[in-house]
Amino acid sequence: MKDLEVPVMSALLNDEQIATLTKGNIHRWVVPQPENGQELEYPIIRVIEIDNYDGHYADNKATISEIPIQIDLWVQGDPSELQNLIDQNMKALHLTRIGVSSRYEPDTGAMRKIFRYKGQVSL
């Protein structure tokens, strides 16, 4: 089984504009909570694999893994620049965007953009 989280994380961390805008605040699986009453620093990006299943078979053997990935972006302000940079990076990895939704989080004042992409990895 192969995963796409590592290449996705690498692409985001190695993009100079994303790294600058987020100050490297890019996480896999879990966003660490601040200690001692400190506040979260925005923007935040989180990458998580949603599923990983076999697809396309030849001679009763899977030849491809289908892997949906979710990328969460939390911002206080306009998400346009970061969301476009994220999308460009995912397209460069040949991932297909399968959905985007937005949620306002009133307790933090942050906008959460939820991106879902799907990729295929040869086995």
Domain assignment present for 34: no
How many domains does the chain divide into? 1
Domain assignment present for 10: yes
Gap between the Cα atoms of 110 and 53, Å rounded: 33
pLDDT at position 2 is 84
Q: How many CB atoms lie within 10 A of CB 45?
A: 26
Closest CA to 26 of 8, 41, 44, 5: 44
Reading the chain (123 residues) residue by residue, the pLDDT tens digits are: 788 999 999 999 999 999 999 999 999 999 998 888 888 999 999 999 999 999 889 999 989 999 999 999 999 999 999 999 999 999 999 999 999 999 999 999 999 999 999 999 999
Could you tell me which residues are beta bridge partners of residue 58? 61
Q: Domain of 14?
A: 5-29+40-122
In this structure, what CATH number is given to the domain that contains residue 48? 3.30.2000.30
Domain assignment present for 13: yes
Domain assignment present for 35: no
- With DSSP H G I counted as helix, E B as strand and the rest as coil, what are the percentages for the chain, rounded to 5? 25, 45, 35
pTM surpassing 0.85? yes
